[in-house]
């Protein structure tokens, strides 16, 4: 299923908030993020963004602000 831009943004915000709230050493933080699958989730999310934007031309984005709510 193709995600909309709004859905992708919401997923990214969840990941960001998870990482932002972590405390501790860099090593402990990195280990937690790795074990929680956050690094893999970000990689997957970036692929979904690329897939989305490959299907949407820049003119569609500029001419149709509602495009963020549509799946392509």
**Cα dist from 68 to 5, 34, 35, 43, whole Å:** 5, 30, 32, 21
Q: What's the CA gap between 62 and 67, in Å, rounded?
A: 9
pLDDT in tens, 4-24: 888 999 999 999 999 998 999
pLDDT interval class at 53 (50, 70, 90): confident
**What is the per-residue pLDDT for 70?**
54
């Amino acid at each position: 299923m193709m995600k909309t831009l709004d859905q992708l943004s919401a997923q990214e915000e969840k990941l960001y908030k998870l990482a932002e709230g972590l405390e501790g050493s860099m090593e402990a933080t990195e280990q937690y993020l790795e074990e929680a699958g956050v690094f893999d989730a970000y990689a997957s999310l970036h692929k979904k963004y690329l897939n989305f934007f490959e299907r949407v031309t820049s003119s569609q984005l500029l001419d149709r602000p509602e495009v963020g709510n549509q799946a392509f």
